[in-house]
Structure 1
Amino acid sequence: MFARLKFSVAALALTAGAAMAQQTDITVGMQLEPPNLDPTGGAAAAIDEVVYANLFEGLTRYTSDGSIAPALAESWDISEDGTEYTFHLRDGVTFHDGSTMDAEDVKFSLDRARAEDSTNAQKALFAGISEVEVVDPLTVKVTLSGPNSAFPNNMAWGDAVIVAPESIDNAATAPVGTGPFMFSDWVQGDRVELVAYDGYWGEKPALTAATFKFISDPTAAFAAMMAGDIDVFPGYPAPETLVQFEADPRFKLLIGSTEGETILGMNNKSEALSDPKVREAIAHAINRQEIIDGAMFGYGTPIGTHFAPHNPDYVDLTGLSDYDPDASKALLAEAGQEGLTLSLKLPPPSYARRGGEIIAAQLRAVGIETQIENLEWAQWLEQVFTGKDFDLTIVSHTEPMDINIYARPDYYFQYGKPEFVELMDALNLATDPAERSSILEQAQTMIAEDYVNGYLFQLARTGVANANIEGLWENAPTQANDLTGVSWSQ
C-alpha cells in the first residue's frame, strides 16, 4: 500500500509539472503563402511576414511602434554633408550555417541589391548608393550620390536584409540568415517551419519553434482558430466573425493599424485609363464606406491619397474623390467613354475578392462594365505587378512610407510624372521637418489630383490570438509577424 501511495504521489507530481510546463512553440496563421522565402528577390508581403526579424536581419530594423532601431549595425555615423554613413557592426554575429557575418557580407548584400541585373523588388531603395567600402571586418562605409535622410529607414526594409554569397543562391527555398530563428522545413501548400537558432548573437527568443500555416479560405481560418489548430492569426481574413472571438475568453483580438494603403490600382498607360478624366470618373463612382462595410465589416479608415492617416503628415484629400455618380457619368461622357469595359484582376486576399464584387457593382451603376478575373498570388505578381497586363486591380500596399513608388515610371500602375520625381528627389535632400512635411503634402495632393489610383481605405490590423500569448504586435508598422518577443504566459 505504501509503495502504491509513493507511485501515485510521483505520478501526480509529474502530471502537475507537465501541466505547468510553459509552451514554447507557436502556430501562426497566414492567408497567403509566400512564392519564395528570399525577401531580396520577391515583392510579396507574405515573404517578410515569415522571415522579417525572425530569420533575416538588416543593418537596422522596424520596431512595434514604427521607429527605427539598430539591428546588425549597433550604431552608425553620418558625415556633415549627409552623404556618408559609417555602420559599426555587432561582433560575434554568425549565419545559420555557422559562418561569420562581417563587413564583406554587408558590401555583398548592398552591391547585389543595387546591381544593374538586380531582381530586388525595391531596387530604388539602393539607387542612391555610389560606393560601399569595407573599412575593417566590423565597419562599413556607404557613400551616397546625395544626402538622403531616410537612408536608415531604407535599410530597415525586408528587401535590405544582409545575406551571404555562400548561401544566397538557395535562399528562395532554404534561406540562411542571422536571425533568432532558422529555417527547418517548407511543405509547399501547407506550412513553413522555423526553429530557434542556438548561435544567435542577441537575446534568445522564448519560443523554440514556429510554424506558419497557410489557410486561404476565411471559413477554414475560423474553424482552425476555434479548434486551436492555429495559435494566432495576425491578418485574420474573416472580420465578420471577430465578434465571436471577442466573446470567447480563450481568445483576444489584436485590432490596430497597418501601413497598408488599399487601392483600386489603375494602369495609367492602358488605352482608356491614360485619360485622367476616366480615372477621375472611376474615383467618383466609388463609395468607400460601402466597401469598408461590405468587404471589411467596418474595419478600415477611408483615404484619399497614398498615405497612412496615422502619419502626422497625412492630408485628408477624400473630398477630391468623394462618391458622386452623377459627376462620374458626366466625366465619362466628356471623355467619350460611355459603355466602357475594363479588366479587374483580383489577388486572393478577402479585401480584394469581396471588395472587387462591390466595386464592380458601383462601376456598373455609372456605365462601366468589368471583367473580373480571380488570380492566385503568383499569377497576380506575374500578370499585374510584373507584366502590367491589367486595367484595374485591388491591392493593399503594406510597405512603410512608400509614396515614393509613384516616382517609378515602370511601377505597375505606370505613373512616374516628372514633377513628382522632382518632389521625391527634394524629399531625400530635406532634413528640416517643416520642409519635409511641406513636400509630403505636395506629393499627396499631386497624386490625388491626378487620380493615379482609386484610394479606398487604410487596411486595419484585425488579428485573433490565444489569450495566453504575449508580445504580439498590435499594429503593423511593416509587413512582419515578428516573433522575437513573443511568449506564452503560464
Structure 2
Amino acid sequence: MHGTSGGSSKDTLDAHSPVQSADIARINNLYEPLLFWDDNYQIAPALAESIEPSSDAKTWTVKLRKGVTFHNGKDVTPEDVLFSIKRVADPKNPRSAGAGLSTFIDFDGTKKVDDSTVVIALKTPYAVLDWLFAEYTFGIVPTDYDPKNPVGTGAFKYKSFTPGKQSVFERYDGYWGDKAKVDQLQIQDFADANALVNALSAGQIQTMDNLPYNLMSSVKKTGKIVEAETGAWVPFTMRVDQKPFSDVRVRQAMRLICDRKQMIEQALSGEGSLGNDLYAPFDPSFASELPQREQDIDQAKSLLKAAGQSDLSVQLFTGDDIGSVATASASLFVQQAAKAGVKVSVVKKNPFYGDDYLSYTFAQDFWNTRNYIPQAAVCALKNGTYNETHFNNDKFAGLIASAQAETDEAKRKTLLQDAQEIEYNEGGYIIWGFRKQVDATSSKVSGVKPSKYLPLGNYKFNTASVSS
C-alpha cells in the first residue's frame, strides 16, 4: 500500500488531468506516454520505439512498440495515439501536456501511415516535441476511453476508486515491460504527513511520498529513505493581474523579503538548493548567470513605499495537499515579511486544489521537474492550464514561440535566456529553492529507486517487492 497526503472529492483517474500527488501516483501506474523521462531525467523509449523529427522539426515520425496492449487486451494502434493527441491538444479544452501543442499542431496532416507508424504534422517547427511526449500527463488511451472506467497500458489495471480516500489496482499480467512483483497496489489518501509517517511506522502502508524533512531521522529507525536531487519547487504565487501584485514593484519587494537560505535550512532541513525565481534548473538553457537574489529588507521597503503599499497586508493561501514544505515555508515567510512591515495572514484551504485553485491572489503550489519550454507552456503562457500567476507577456510568449521552433541549440539557449530574464524581472513566482525529493519505504520493501523526475522512482511500483 502506498500512502500520500491530501485527497478530496476532486481526485481524478483522468490520464490527462492530474493535479495533486495522489492523482500523479495513480496515472503513472495506469497509463504510459510514448516516451519516458527516466530516473536520470533523460528521454527513454516507452510506447514508442522512437520519435524522430524532420530536418525542419515540422514533421515527427512515431514508430510504435510492438506487442503493447491495453488492460482490456486490445492492441495499441495508431488510432489510439491519434485519439490521445487530439484529446490532450484539443484547442477548445487543452490538457496539461497539450496546452502548447494545441496552438501549432496540424490535425489534418497528423495521420496514420501504417499499423505501427504515425506522422505528426505541425504548423510551425517545434524542436523539442519529444519533451512533451515524455510528460506523464500525456498517457496513451484507447479510442473509447472513459475516465470513470479507465483503461491504460501501465503495469497495474483499475479495480476501484473512492475519491478522497483510496484507489485499488491489480497487476496487469499482459504488461509489455517488467511485470509487477505484487498482486495489488492500493493508493491511500491521508489527512496530513504526520498521519502518513505514523501509518508507515505501524506497517499499515509500505511506501510514502514527500516525507517531511524533519522526520527523516525518525523514519530511518524503522524504514528506508529514498532521496534524489530534483528540479522540484514549492513557490509562492502572486497574481500579476490583481492588486497589489499588478504593480511589479510589489512583486519585486516580496521577492526581496524572502530569505532563501533560511527557507532551505528550515523548511527543507538543508535538503535543497538555492532558487532565483526561475524554474527548470536541469535545462541546458537555465539562466544561471542572472544575479542571485538575496534578502534586502531596506530595498523591499523602498519599493513598497514607491508603490504606495508601505502598510501592505495580504492573505497567503495554502493547504495540506500541497505537501509539508508549504506549511513550513509559509510560516517562515510570515516572519520574514514582518521585518518589512508586511502583514501576511495564512489561510489554509482543504482541499487547496478545489474550485478556488488558480484564483488565489497570493498562494503556494508545488511543481515537479520539467525543462523550461514545457514548464512555461503550462504555467506562464496565457493559455497555460495551470497559469496560477496569470502571467501574460507578449514579448515573453514570442520568445518562447521562437525558441520552441529553433533547431539550433545555441540560438534556442539565447532565446530562452532572454525569456527567463523577463520572468526574473516581471514574473509572479517567488522560487526560493529546489527541494530534494525525499520519500520513504518500509524496511521490507526493495526495488524502489530514486528519481530526479517524480517521487519513488517515478511512482513505478512494478519494480517494488515486499518481503514477508
TM-score computed with the length of structure 2 as normaliser = 0.90
What residue number does 1:174 align with? 149
SS, match of residue 169 in structure 2: strand
Q: 2:124 aligns with which of 111, 121, 146?
A: 146
Distance 1:314 1:45 in 2: 26
Q: How far is the alpha carbon of 1:305 from its aligned partner?
A: 2.6
Distance 1:75 1:316 in 2: 32
Q: How far is the alpha carbon of 1:478 from its aligned partner?
A: 3.9
SS, match of residue 423 in structure 2: helix
Q: 2:269 aligns with which of 297, 301, 315?
A: 297
Q: 1:394 aligns with which of 351, 360, 364?
A: 364
Distance 2:22 2:2 in 1: 12
Matches of residues 234-245 of structure 1 in structure 2 within 5 Å?
234-236=209-211, 238-245=212-219
Distance 1:74 1:84 in 2: 17
- Asked whether 1:111 is paired with 2:90, we answer no
Flag the 1:406–1:98 CA change in 2: closer, same or farther, 3 A: closer
Q: How far is the alpha carbon of 1:141 from its aligned partner?
A: 1.0
Q: List runs of 5+ in structure 1 lacking aligned partners.
A: 1-26
What residue number does 2:165 align with? 190
Flag the 1:49–1:258 CA change in 2: closer, same or farther, 3 A: farther
Flag the 1:78–1:219 CA change in 2: closer, same or farther, 3 A: closer
Flag the 1:318–1:46 CA change in 2: closer, same or farther, 3 A: farther
Flag the 1:46–1:257 CA change in 2: closer, same or farther, 3 A: farther
Distance 2:204 2:266 in 1: 28
Q: How far is the alpha carbon of 1:135 from its aligned partner?
A: 1.7
For 2:143, the aligned partner's letter is P
Distance 2:127 2:354 in 1: 31
SS, match of residue 212 in structure 1: strand
Flag the 1:75–1:311 CA change in 2: closer, same or farther, 3 A: closer
- Deviations, residues 26-70 of structure 1 (Å, cap 9, x unaligned): x22211337111131344353222221x21011112211111111
Q: 2:440 aligns with which of 442, 448, 464?
A: 464
Distance 1:419 1:470 in 2: 49
For 2:368, the aligned partner's letter is T
Deviates more, 1:284-293 or 1:314-323: 314-323
Distance 1:347 1:318 in 2: 32
Distance 1:183 1:64 in 2: 25
- Deviations, residues 76-133 of structure 1 (Å, cap 9, x unaligned): 3322222111212123322212333211111111112222332513432422211220
Q: 1:258 aligns with which of 224, 230, 238?
A: 230
Flag the 1:409–1:444 CA change in 2: closer, same or farther, 3 A: same
Distance 1:245 1:453 in 2: 33
Deviates more, 1:347-356 or 1:278-287: 347-356
Flag the 1:76–1:451 CA change in 2: closer, same or farther, 3 A: closer
Q: How far is the alpha carbon of 1:329 from its aligned partner?
A: 0.8
Q: How far is the alpha carbon of 1:488 from its aligned partner?
A: 4.3
SS, match of residue 130 in structure 1: coil
- Deviations, residues 191-241 of structure 1 (Å, cap 9, x unaligned): 2111111222333232322121222322222211211222122321x2212
What residue number does 1:85 align with? 60
SS, match of residue 396 in structure 1: coil
Flag the 1:439–1:468 CA change in 2: closer, same or farther, 3 A: farther
- Deviations, residues 257-303 of structure 1 (Å, cap 9, x unaligned): 23322211100011211111111111111112222233222222220
Distance 1:221 1:431 in 2: 46
Deviates more, 1:81-90 or 1:264-273: 81-90
Flag the 1:91–1:475 CA change in 2: closer, same or farther, 3 A: closer
Distance 1:465 1:42 in 2: 24
- Deviations, residues 172-202 of structure 1 (Å, cap 9, x unaligned): x432101111011224433211111122233
What residue number does 1:11 align with? none
- Work out which of the two has the higher radius of gyration on C-alpha atoms and give 1 or 2: 1
Q: How far is the alpha carbon of 1:311 from its aligned partner?
A: 4.4
Matches of residues 63-142 of structure 1 in structure 2 within 5 Å?
63-118=38-93, 120-127=95-102, 128-131=104-107, 132-142=110-120
Distance 1:92 1:242 in 2: 42
Maintained 8 Å contact 2:209/2:440 = yes
Maintained 8 Å contact 2:20/2:353 = no
Maintained 8 Å contact 1:280/1:321 = no
- Deviations, residues 373-423 of structure 1 (Å, cap 9, x unaligned): 21123x4342132xx2x2211112215121344541252211121121122
Maintained 8 Å contact 1:232/1:464 = yes
For 2:181, the aligned partner's letter is A
Distance 2:32 2:378 in 1: 23
- Asked whether 1:337 is paired with 2:312, we answer no
What residue number does 2:459 align with? 481
For 1:483, the aligned partner's letter is F
Q: How far is the alpha carbon of 1:444 from its aligned partner?
A: 2.5
- Asked whether 1:360 is paired with 2:329, we answer no
Q: How many residues align?
A: 453
Matches of residues 439-450 of structure 1 in structure 2 within 5 Å?
439-450=415-426
What residue number does 1:13 align with? none
Q: 1:217 aligns with which of 189, 192, 199?
A: 192
| Root mean square deviation of aligned Cα | 2.3
Maintained 8 Å contact 1:258/1:476 = yes
Maintained 8 Å contact 1:472/1:485 = yes
Matches of residues 265-304 of structure 1 in structure 2 within 5 Å?
265-304=237-276
SS, match of residue 235 in structure 2: strand
Maintained 8 Å contact 1:262/1:396 = yes
SS, match of residue 115 in structure 1: coil
Q: 1:47 aligns with which of 19, 23, 43?
A: 23
